[in-house]
Structure 1
Amino acid sequence: MDGMCFRFSRGHSQGNNPFDTVDCSLTIFSARVFTYIFEILQGDRSSVILCDDIFGASPIRVQKLGNLDGMHVRKNSLHDNWDDEHGYYKYHLGEVLDGHYRITAGSGKGVFSTVVQAKDLKAGKNDPEEVAIKIICNEKERYKSGKREVSVLEKLSSADREDKRHCVRFISSFMYRDHLCLVLESLHMNLREVIKKFGRDIGLKLTAVRTYSKQLFIALKHLKDCSILHCDIKPDNILVNGSRNLLKLCDFGSALPAGINVITPVLVSRFYRAPEIILGLPYDHSLDMWSVGCCLYELYTGKILFPGGTNNGMLWLHMELKGPFPKKMLRKGAFTTQHFDQDLNFHATDENLMMKKAVNKLCMNVKPKGVGAKISSFAGEDPKMLSSFKDLLEKIFVLDPQKRLTVSQALSHPFITGK
């Protein structure tokens, strides 16, 4: 594993980043939906955040108000200087969070959080010294969403004491200046960065893809065993270590309990969104399998498989690859009529920039290309392994989620076992 190789590319063209157009509505959706679902399930009638002032560097005055169910947090006006206008915490290098973690570097900024690298000043003999800290935005709904992510991470970590299931390790959480902070293990880079650095436009060697595939399937099995849907698997949310021989699934901010279906067309980042989501059908663990398939294709080719600009465009790309949708599936979709007529013929919607309006085009007799036709053979690759990889993807990209490859079948597939 330490000798894992990658193909390198030269002279890459400098184009626009396609991820500039990825839906941000998912995160907004998941935060609101989580609030609705879990408050109903748990009977949460509280409309305020409880802050224990032992967590903050500066005390927060907390005052009980009459017979209210909960507590009202009254902030000192100086707290306004801690955040920017959007509620992101304005950290400083060298700052010590919770008297425990010294910030050493910034690591990224999400839709509702900031991630920093930090040194644990009180690390025990068996504790990691370097950690990543996800600082949730200072806003009530973001706090609630962050607490639910903590619950998911605690469940996944407690069910994986030996750290073999390829989900990021959760260490602890604390409050700091009105921000919920999640302490996680620190890894080197995400798969988006790996692809850009080592396989841009040409991808990685198939042996590396096989190693990553197996680890991702193990992570999916762990999610299934814990009855959790990730709901946002993409290269950005998969981290690798410094040797690039181990990966872990991260960012569970959009995760849902299996069995809870809120029908919405914006669940999962668009390029990795399964067709059942777009059509408005019930979903289960198979939606994460579809997303993993998209990642595996991208790892090997260096290209996005379904770069649709809209959900309508995504459905067209799905059909170009795999053919028409089963009519039984279309008849059950809550959003089918947005893309298909009463005879279940697909209507492609193109944005006419000259006329500045949508133009519908009737599309019939779609001839599927298949995944294999989109994957080229590279010199030095094992033909048998490549054929097995194509077969794996064909079985993942089945339009009907009930017939899609399961995680157990994936782990026993010849591409993974080498048999």
Structure 2
Amino acid sequence: MAERHGKYHSTRYSRTSNRRRSKDDTKCRTYESKTPPLPHRRTSMQELIKERETIRKELKHIAKLKTETQKEIRENYKKRKCEKPNQADNEKHHTDYLKSKKPRNDVTVKKTSPEHSQDYAQLDSEDEEHIIEQRRQQRKQLLEQLHTSLEKTDNTSIEENTNNEIKDVDLNKSQKSLTINQIKSAKDVTDMFSEEDFVPKNDTDNVTQDNRKESSKLNDNWDDVEGYYNVKVGDIINNNQYTIKALLGQGVFANVVKAQDSNSGSEVAIKIVRNNDLMYKTGLKEVEILKEINDADPESKYHCVKFYSNFMHKGHLCLVLEPLHMDLRSILKKYGRHHGINIKALMSYCRQLLLSLRLLKKLGIIHADIKPDNILVNEKKNILKLCDFGSATKINDNEPTPYLVSRFYRAPEIILGIPYKHGVDVWSTACTIYEMSTGKILFTGSSNNRMLKCFMDLKGKIPSRVVRKGKFKDQHFNYNNNFLLHKKDEFTGREKVVEITNITMSRDLYKELKRSSLNLPTGEEKKIIQLKDLLEKMLILDSNQRLSVTDCLKHPFIQEELQK
């Protein structure tokens, strides 16, 4: 027992002593740290502040040098621009300037690290190159402008007897000339900062009006983008026969100029058709119609414009016509705005216009574009003539098209796609007569659909027998022949279709005619009643029941004299 007790006691003691020894060893043993030691500060905070101030001064110094360099380059550029030296001096001056470019000695620079000095040199060189590149871009833009202006100058006409001189004559008859010698001298200057050192090269110095072998480049310059001839006052065309004096107007098919015939000394009007195949064919068709009218009316008694001849110029078909003073629309603007022309002039103009229509009907020709713009008046304003037969067709040659005739003067059979005859000219003439009487347009629909609504506001619903004949009736009427009005929604702005079953007449033709002529004498008031009756019959919606041209000439408004 004693031995076992002693052995247990010794074992327990050894465990306790081992445990104490391990604690003591832990206290004395040092462990190696795995984290890196903290850096030891070598410089103080004041030294860092000083270093920051030094860097800031260096940056200010770099910015100052940059500004001075820009200023110096601008001053040199201004001097060079004022002097305008020749090419050799410019190249030499620019090379010497770049070679002699040295750092400024009057500015003290603190010694900086190699890295900072390298950055400064790079910034300086990049800045100078940037300025030079910027000047080059500005010069390029100026040269493009100069190129455009010189091309416009080169496009002007040059007479054969002039010696290396280009004339640019505008419509205000102001003349500007630039000689070939000036162009050549401009070519010699190639200063990199110059604004006048570029001129397009021309293959030939002299260009004649009627040379048929001109370059394609010049050929393009005769016309504008839409194919109209670029009219220039003073141009001599058709083998030096006609000199252009003024531009009279421009239409869909052509522009019209006033010219002087050098052979007779008289003035003529020349219609220069647009340069494309469709307009050329249309122009040839108009020539045929005008010749037919001239043959039927050699003494020009029936108020159609007289045709003299035709020729080709720069790819354009040109029609030489009788000159007149102004068109009827200009007359209405000048003498009849808001109230129309006087009743006596109206009667005379109506009779003359109807006589021209009677001649066309006799020849089987439909004008198909009667409106105030296509009616001309002489200088005394007592003679009226119908012109512009570009849309004219033979009666057996027409096909339904919804856009024939200008929209405000377009008859309902054209909009609906019904085969048409001379009635379309009667309808357009009625609209023109109303405009002469009141100074206002009779129907002002913004589309074909709106035009039909305007017709029904004045004349009531279009008969079903007429609608059924229409090729395009489904665009405007449903299966019950109720009108489908196309209009925009007030809130969404989208187009919507509204079915109108009941058509009410909201206009009174007599009141409108009388309103424009207040306080009329008894005789004139009677003529207004007759005019209202004539227009009502000329504006019948069914073209088969519409008044013919012959019956219009027999109407009391035309036949009876004005009672004083």
The TM tier, using the shorter chain, reads: 0.7 to 0.9
Q: Does 1:237 align with 2:374?
A: yes
Shift of 1:229: 0.4
Q: Which has the larger radius of gyration?
A: 2
Shift of 1:324: 0.9
Aligned to 1:123: 264
Aligned to 1:94: 234
Q: Does 1:211 align with 2:363?
A: no
Q: Deviations over 1:102-132 (max 9, x none)?
A: 11111111123111001111128xxxx1111
Counterpart-to-counterpart distance in 1, 2:422 and 2:243: 38
> What pairs up with 1:271-290 in 2 under 5 angstroms?
271-290=408-427
Secondary structure, counterpart of 2:219 in structure 1? helix
Shift of 1:178: 1.2
Shift of 1:365: 2.4
Q: Deviations over 1:340-363 (max 9, x none)?
A: 111001111113365232122222
Q: Does 1:391 align with 2:543?
A: no
Secondary structure, counterpart of 1:104 in structure 2? strand
Query: What percentage of residue pairs aligned between the two structures are identical?
Result: 47
Counterpart-to-counterpart distance in 2, 1:380 and 1:363: 39
Shift of 1:86: 2.0
Secondary structure, counterpart of 1:222 in structure 2? helix
Q: Contact 2:513–2:528 (CA<8 Å) still a contact in 1?
A: no
Counterpart-to-counterpart distance in 1, 2:496 and 2:225: 39
Q: Which amino acid aligns with 2:303?
A: H
Q: Deviations over 1:24-56 (max 9, x none)?
A: xxxxxxxxxxxxxxxxxxxxxxxxxxxxxxxx9
Counterpart-to-counterpart distance in 2, 1:280 and 1:225: 25
Instruction: Return the match for 1:59 from 189, 211, 224.
Output: 211
Q: Does 1:114 align with 2:258?
A: no
Shift of 1:176: 1.0
Counterpart-to-counterpart distance in 1, 2:397 and 2:511: 37
Q: Does 1:83 align with 2:223?
A: yes
Instruction: Return the match for 2:393 from 241, 256, 278.
Output: 256
Q: Which amino acid aligns with 1:197?
A: K
Counterpart-to-counterpart distance in 2, 1:375 and 1:225: 32
Q: Which amino acid aligns with 1:253?
A: G
Secondary structure, counterpart of 1:106 in structure 2? strand
Q: Which amino acid aligns with 1:86?
A: E
Secondary structure, counterpart of 1:116 in structure 2? strand
TM-score normalised by length of structure 1: 0.80
Counterpart-to-counterpart distance in 1, 2:547 and 2:210: 52
Q: Contact 1:103–1:119 (CA<8 Å) still a contact in 2?
A: yes
Secondary structure, counterpart of 1:131 in structure 2? strand
Q: Deviations over 1:46-67 (max 9, x none)?
A: xxxxxxxxxx943335xxxxxx
Aligned to 1:408: 550
Shift of 1:177: 1.4
Aligned to 1:181: 318
Runs of at least 5 residues in structure 1 that lack an aligned partner in the other structure? 1-55, 62-73
> What pairs up with 1:3-402 in 2 under 5 angstroms?
57-60=209-212, 76-98=216-238, 99-123=240-264, 129-352=266-489, 354-368=491-505, 369-376=507-514, 377-381=517-521, 382-402=524-544
Runs of at least 5 residues in structure 2 that lack an aligned partner in the other structure? 1-207
Q: Which amino acid aligns with 1:113?
A: A
Higher relative contact order (CA 8 A, sep 6+): 1
Counterpart-to-counterpart distance in 1, 2:223 and 2:549: 42
Shift of 1:370: 4.5
Q: Deviations over 1:288-341 (max 9, x none)?
A: 000000000000101111000011110011011111111111111111111111
Cα distance 1:214–1:224, how it changes in 2: closer, same or farther (>3 A)?
same
TM-score normalised by length of structure 2: 0.60
Q: Which amino acid aligns with 1:300?
A: S
Q: Contact 2:209–2:236 (CA<8 Å) still a contact in 1?
A: no
Q: Deviations over 1:245-298 (max 9, x none)?
A: 111111110111112231111011000000011111010000000000000000
Q: Which has the higher strand share?
A: 1
Count of residue pairs the alignment pairs up: 348
Q: Deviations over 1:133-163 (max 9, x none)?
A: 1111121221111111111111111110111
